[in-house]
Amino acid sequence: MNPQAEELNKVIQAKNPAIFEMLSERGKNIYFPKRGILAQSADANGTKINATIGAAIEDDKSPMRLEVIASKIDLAPGLTFPYAPSFGRPDLRSKWKSMIYEKNPSLSGAEISLPIVTNALTHGVNMAGYLFIDEGEEIISPDLFWDNYDLILTNSYGAKIATFNTFKDGGFDLDAFSAKLNEGPIGKKVVILNFPNNPSGYSPSVDENKAIAEILTAAAELGNKIVVFCDDAYFGLVFEEGVERESIFAKLSKAHENILALKLDGPTKEDYVWGFRVGFMTYGIKGGDAELYGALESKTAGAVRGNISNASNLSQSLLLQAYNNSDYQKQKEEKFNTLKERYEAVKEALKNEAYKQYFTALPYNSGYFMCVKPVGNIDGEELRHLLNKKYSIGVINLNNLIRIAFAAVPAKDIKTLFDGIYEACKEIKG
Ligand SMILES: Cc1ncc(COP(=O)(O)O)c(C=O)c1O
C-alpha cells in the first residue's frame, strides 16, 4: 500500500474505525498524491519562469486559447480554460457547502465535509461505489430504483443490489426496509436512498423520514457499520405539504458514529443544467471533524483524479457566478412553479375514476416522475408501443410499470396524455 494511503487510513482509524471498515479495498488503497508532479507544481507557484504546468500558456501568461472558443465565453479565460483541481474549484466547493446548510436548516450545528466535485451525479454514485463497495457486496435499495445503478454499481464494482418493497398502504414500506437492513449478520451495510425517487416520484413524509433515520440508527446501535448514499438528484422538487423537504443526509449526519452519510447531489436537475456535468460528494457523520473529513476528501479526490482527473472548470465557473447572482433564487422559483403546475395537472387528470379500470397511480409527491400500474393482464410493452405509434405519446415501461416524466410535459398536455393511456389500455383489453 502506498504510504500516502496509509497516512490517510491512520487518520480515519484514529478518528473513527467504523469508517475504515466501511471502505472497500480500493477505498483503503486510494489517496490524493501530495508528492510528485502536483506537489512540485505547487512548489513552483509564483516562480518567474514556470515550466511545471501541464497546460499551454500565452506569452502574457494567460491560458493559451483559440479565439473561436474564447469569443463565445463571457467569463475570464482563467476561470474556464485551465484545469480545475481534482477536488473541484475551492470557491464553488465552499459555496455549495453553504448552500447545503441553507437548504437543510436542521443540519445547523453539524459538521460536514467540504463537497468534492464530480462529473455530475452518475459519476458521484460511481465514485461512491469505488470507495465503499467490494465485489459481491450488497447494496440495500428500495425495489424502485434508477436503472443505471445496475451499470454504475453492479457492472462496475460487482455490487448486488438487494432490494426491499418500496410501498405499503400508500407510503414508504418502513417494515420492509427495517427487515432488509437487519437481515444477515451484524457488520458492514451499504444503503442507497434516492428521494425524490426515480422512477416513482416519491419522497417520504416528515414522519417517514424520521422513521427511516431511526431504523438506521437502531441498526447502528446494534453494531452495524452503515454507509448511506443519499442520491439527492431531484432535491428541492417537493410539491406537497407534510413531505420532508430536507435531505435525509441532514438527520443521518448527526445520527450515530456508525452511520456515514454520503450526499450525492448537484445542479443537474436542481438548476436545470443536465449537460454541464457537475455534481458533489459530501460526507457527514456524528463526531466528524475537519481532520477526518480531510482524509475522506483526499481519498475521494484521489479516486476522481484517477478516473476523470477533474470536472469541467467552465461549468463550475458558470455555476458559481449563477449562485452569486441576485436573480438566481427568483429564476429558480419560477421553474419550480412550472414543474409544480405540471404536477398539479397530473393530480387533476387522475381524478378521473374511469382510469382505475385500466391503471392506478403509485404514490408520488415530488421530483420529475410518477408511475402508473396497468391493471389485469395489460402488457406494459404492448401499451408503450401502442401509445407511441397510434397516440404519439412516449412513456417508459419498467417491468410493466409505466413511468411518466411529467416534468417534460406542458401542463396543457397532461390530460391528453392520461386520456391516451386510458384509450390505449381500452383498446388492448378489447
Ligand atoms: C436518481 C438519479 N440519480 C442520479 C442521476 C444522474 O444525474 P446526472 O445527470 O447528474 O449524472 C439521475 C439521472 O437521471 C437520477 O435519476
Digit-coded pLDDT (tens) for 215-227: 999 999 999 999 9
Band of residue 34 on the pLDDT scale cut at 50, 70, 90: confident
Which of 117, 122, 153 most suits a substitution to test ligand 1, by most atoms within 8 Å of the C-beta?
122
Give the whole-angstrom CA distance, residue 283 versus residue 293: 7
Provide residues with CB under 6 Å of ligand 1: 120-122, 146, 194, 198, 231, 233, 266, 268, 274, 279
Measured in Å, residue 65 CA sits from the centre of ligand 1 at: 32
How many of the other CB atoms lie within 10 Å of CB of 151? 12
Over residues 279-287, the mean pLDDT reads 98
Over residues 185-198, the mean pLDDT reads 98
**Three-state secondary structure readout of 140-159:** EEECCCCCHHHHHHHHHHCC
Element (H, E) at 217: helix 206-221
Confidence check: pLDDT of 41 > 90: no
Tell me the one-letter amino acid at 430.
Answer: G
Hey, which bits of 149-254 come out as E strands?
Answer: 160-164, 167-168, 171-172, 188-194, 225-231
Per-residue pLDDT of 49-98, as tens digits, reads 888 888 899 999 999 999 999 999 999 999 999 999 999 999 999 999 99
pTM for this entry: 0.97
User: Which string of b and e fits 154-177 if b means at least 16 CB within 10 Å?
Assistant: eeebebeebbbebbeeeebbbebb
Confidence check: pLDDT of 44 > 90: no
Measured in Å, residue 89 CA sits from the centre of ligand 1 at: 22
Quote the cell numbers at residue 184. Answer: 444477515
Confidence check: pLDDT of 305 > 90: yes
Per-residue pLDDT of 115-168, as tens digits, reads 999 999 999 999 999 999 999 999 999 999 999 999 999 999 999 999 999 999
Band of residue 402 on the pLDDT scale cut at 50, 70, 90: very high
Confidence check: pLDDT of 250 > 90: yes
